[in-house]
Structure 1
Amino acid sequence: MKHERYDMLATQSIRKLIFKLSTPAIIGLLVQAFYNLVDTIFVGRGLGDDSALGIAGISIAFPIQMLMMAIAMGIGIGGASVISRTLGMGDSDKAERTLANMVTLVIISSVVFTVLGLLFIDPLLRLFGASESVLPFAKEYTKYILMGTIFFTFSAAMSNAIRAEGHAKFAMAVMLVSSVVNIVLDPIFIFEFNMGIMGAAVATVISQMIGAVMIIHYYRGSINMVAFKPEYMALDPVLSQEIVSIGMSEFIFNSVESLVFILLNQSLLVYGGDMAIAVFGIIIKVFMIFLMPIIGIKHGILPIFGFNYGANDFGRVREAVSLSNYIAFGMCVISVLIIFLIPEQIFRVFSSDAELLAMGVPAIKISFLMMPFIGSQIVATALLQSMGKSKQALVVTLSRQVFFLPPLVLVLPLFMGVTGIWLSFPVSDFLGFVVAVVLMKKEVNKLGVTKIKAIDA
């Protein structure tokens, strides 16, 4: 089985390989995004007159979840890049040492994050935009989410390592099982046990624990291509630096996302109040549903890029870049069409509040205008990360989130009110696309076609 997965990454047709590795990731990520969506739906439906405050509370907590994701993806993407390239070079020992160091990094960072988060939870939530009316809902949800940090980061980070060795279906199974458990437990805890917003958080943590157990089972079995060896868990300074360096763009991307959420929530509170924060909470959950297929493509192409780049088969890398860009663009176009066809129906799933609908429908249309240009940014980041080009990947990441979006959020509302905040998203999407295409094209042009291997159609 190990030899088959090696041959698959080296010789199978790129089109077939993208489909095979991306589809499980897309399914798993969609289900995962759906259970985050379900949290918001059940809270909106379960809190009656306080539905908008509950949705706003979850939105306020989202930056903390983004920081958790930053840890997981920084370690996961960085480690996966090293593993896929070392497998391409035939260095299984370094792949095993990388895996063990990833586990150690996850444990240390998760414990530190949980302790600091719980110690400073009130000032953090106020910083993230919680008004006095929203703070109790945000705190009740966030404190339980923080307790589950280690389970979430372990599952998310190590799923990337599993994908790096070509076993995308198991990584999908982890997301599917944990997501289904969360979806089943949500209504039980929220309605049957009358736990309200706390029930949504507890259900999420339990589902993350199950995902972590599945990962442990995978590495205790015999189906893995990279073995977990506890004796390699002592941090190797050079190797851990390589993992962190490559994953830094992903870490900063998600960390900056969290900081941008602080700016957005504070701006929304000023220009639109708690209702605007609730609208934004719904928009971001819907956006994540449509973004997950593109992230799934990224998970699928990372091992293809990394393995074939490590094996010096640049022709396959170039082909994978071209195909993945077309696929990502098509998916993004479909997302925009859906948003413009049924915006009101989407909002009614969460709440029938008239004020929420009046503000939300035009807001979601404006926010999604330039969605088709996001796909190339994600493909560019995947390519640069898999090649070990951490600085260039970081530039792509920061262009939209740091260079463009925050200034727009600060300036446009001065002239257009809350509409200016919604308009900041499509403008920054397009500008980020320009930067990504320039850097991606530059690196692709450097790849000389050294050999074309036999294609397994």
Structure 2
Amino acid sequence: MATTENPLGVKPLPQLLRSFAVPSILAMLVSSLYNIVDQIFIGQGVGYLGNAATNVAYPLTTICLAIALLIGIGAAANFNLNLGAGRQEAARRVVGAAVTMMVVLGVVYMVLVELFLPQLLRLFGGTDSVMPYALTYTRITALGMPLLIATNATSNLIRADGSPRFSMVCMLLGAVINTILDPTFIFLCHWGVAGAAWATVIGQAASCLLAVSYLPRFHNIHLTGEDFHFRPALWQRIASLGLSNSLNQVAITFVQIVLNNSLTFYGAQSVYGSEIPLATSGIVIKINAILLGIIVGISQGTQPIISFNYGAGKYDRVRGIYLLAVKLSLVISVVGFAAFQLFPKEIVSLFGTGDHLYFEFAVKFMRTYLFMVTVNGVQLLSSNYFASVGKPIRGLLLALTRQVFFLVPLLVILPLFWGLDGLLFAAPIADFIAFVTSALTMRVELRRLRQLPAPQPV
């Protein structure tokens, strides 16, 4: 059969993982750099209140990425499962449905953000000192949110079609433009946070245009006008397979809202005040987003390989690529852990200066909050695995373990006994429990794969 000749089903797994994961990792790092670069230049040009403003606005970006993952991961998984099973027409219609889905949801999300922005920023922990900066920054960046959704969702489809490098270039283009325009608008034009926001939107527009240009050039399918018709059943199918990855992002947003408000409340009762914990936590979380971006990139790189081989009945390859990805994520996470523990002050210093209390809390926050990052990849890879094989409910439950089931309750309970320190210790405890839960779940699943019959020769 033609489907057995697809490289996803025959190439050595390490070679496949390298070819798909490296561009995915770079794309995710570039996505993280949008916010990192903004925060560095804002910290240097505006100060720590500007950093606090980007932290308050950040949940809107994570929700945006959640929508993109809902569409992109869900459509890519459906696309590869159909290709693996030899259903070309079904694969084509999945792509068409995903395009209409990203346009509609992107515009609706932008309108809602613009209508309710002050209320949302207050909900996300904005204080009176931070709100003017946050409003200015987010009014502009909201205009680019449909572009961000379209770029990230389309990039997943491009990767699923076997063009991970093109997907990477789409993300890289916007990041390069953003990095050039940030210092230009902030320092030369003296536009402050508005300059950083416009640099972000312009970069997103360039990435989106390049990503959309790929649609007529898919390798495995040829899209027609009929494929873009509104099909609610396909939207539902796409959403079901993208839900675990999407809700993981939504859960991150929910955690950040709880964390921001708790830091403001308990920080006001400490020597650090409200703004220092709010500003430094934003820096630490975005620095951790770089490490998470690498793990998510590995996860996204495994998705086409897992989906295709599961659809083709090659379960030994499914098991092999998952285990290979876990080993790689553990190695990378150990490197990240070492950097967070050994060089916290140097890392935070990249984002501007502050007084003794500012750096004291930032160092303490980074070392404590990120103490268990070495095992975070197992939960991300495991939840993505179940989405890739068409089991969204199990993937969803695993995706919610760390953020919703464990971390949020700990963020509420532990500060009652230990104040501000309780917020810091909540994360490593939740990370460890989520790791154990995911490891036990995957142990059962991998045993099941070994017992499944091999595909019959045709």
Interval of TM-score (by shorter of Structure 1 and Structure 2):
over 0.9
Instruction: Indicate if the aligned counterparts of 2:24 and 2:300 stay in contact, CA closer than 8 A.
Output: yes
Tell me how far 1:31 sits from its aligned partner. 2.7
Q: Secondary structure at the match of 1:148?
A: helix
Aligned position for 1:277: 278
Tell me how far 1:226 sits from its aligned partner. 3.1
Instruction: Indicate if the aligned counterparts of 2:252 and 2:403 stay in contact, CA closer than 8 A.
Output: yes
Q: Secondary structure at the match of 1:131?
A: coil
1:386 aligns with 2:388: yes
TM-superposition CA deviations, 1:3-46 (whole Å, max 9, x none) = 89962101001111111110111122223322321110100000
Aligned position for 2:316: 315
Distance in 1, Cα, partners of 2:219 & 2:152 = 17
Distance in 2, Cα, partners of 1:169 & 1:234 = 29
Aligned position for 2:271: none
Distance 1:196 1:5, change over 3 A: farther
Tell me how far 1:452 sits from its aligned partner. 8.8
Provide TM-score, normalisation by structure 1. Answer: 0.95
Distance in 2, Cα, partners of 1:5 & 1:138 = 52
TM-superposition CA deviations, 1:313-341 (whole Å, max 9, x none) = 00100111111111111111110011111
Instruction: Indicate if the aligned counterparts of 1:315 and 1:450 stay in contact, CA closer than 8 A.
Output: no
1:98 aligns with 2:94: yes
From 225, 234, 239, the counterpart of 1:244: 239
Letter in 2 for 1:401: Q
From 41, 57, 63, the counterpart of 1:61: 57
Instruction: Indicate if the aligned counterparts of 1:313 and 1:449 stay in contact, CA closer than 8 A.
Output: no
Aligned position for 1:202: 198
Letter in 1 for 2:373: M
Letter in 2 for 1:88: G
Aligned position for 1:446: 448
Letter in 1 for 2:179: I
% identity of equivalent residues? 35
Aligned position for 1:165: 161
Distance in 2, Cα, partners of 1:264 & 1:28 = 28
Which structure 2 segments of 5+ residues have no match?
268-273
TM-superposition CA deviations, 1:330-368 (whole Å, max 9, x none) = 111110011111111111111221232111001100011
Distance 1:123 1:308, change over 3 A: same
From 234, 242, 252, the counterpart of 1:257: 252
Q: Secondary structure at the match of 2:25?
A: helix
Distance in 1, Cα, partners of 2:88 & 2:159 = 16
Tell me how far 1:76 sits from its aligned partner. 0.7
Tell me how far 1:451 sits from its aligned partner. 4.0
Distance in 2, Cα, partners of 1:292 & 1:4 = 31
Distance in 2, Cα, partners of 1:223 & 1:104 = 17
Distance 1:194 1:165, change over 3 A: same
Instruction: Indicate if the aligned counterparts of 1:78 and 1:245 stay in contact, CA closer than 8 A.
Output: yes
Provide TM-score, normalisation by structure 2. Answer: 0.95
Aligned position for 1:85: 81
Letter in 1 for 2:430: S
Letter in 2 for 1:125: L
Distance in 2, Cα, partners of 1:311 & 1:4 = 8
Letter in 2 for 1:196: G
Aligned position for 1:331: 332
Distance in 1, Cα, partners of 2:370 & 2:258 = 19
Instruction: Indicate if the aligned counterparts of 2:109 and 2:146 stay in contact, CA closer than 8 A.
Output: no
Instruction: Indicate if the aligned counterparts of 1:392 and 1:439 stay in contact, CA closer than 8 A.
Output: no
Tell me how far 1:107 sits from its aligned partner. 1.2
Letter in 2 for 1:237: P
TM-superposition CA deviations, 1:205-242 (whole Å, max 9, x none) = 1111111110121123x353333333221222222111
Tell me how far 1:296 sits from its aligned partner. 1.0
The root-mean-square deviation of aligned C-alpha atoms, in Å, is: 1.7
Paired residues, number:
448
Aligned position for 1:235: 230
Tell me how far 1:438 sits from its aligned partner. 2.0
Instruction: Indicate if the aligned counterparts of 2:4 and 2:10 stay in contact, CA closer than 8 A.
Output: no
Distance 1:128 1:216, change over 3 A: same
Instruction: Indicate if the aligned counterparts of 2:144 and 2:201 stay in contact, CA closer than 8 A.
Output: yes
Q: Secondary structure at the match of 1:130?
A: coil
Distance in 2, Cα, partners of 1:418 & 1:23 = 38
Instruction: Indicate if the aligned counterparts of 1:318 and 1:444 stay in contact, CA closer than 8 A.
Output: yes
Distance 1:5 1:132, change over 3 A: farther
Aligned position for 2:364: 362
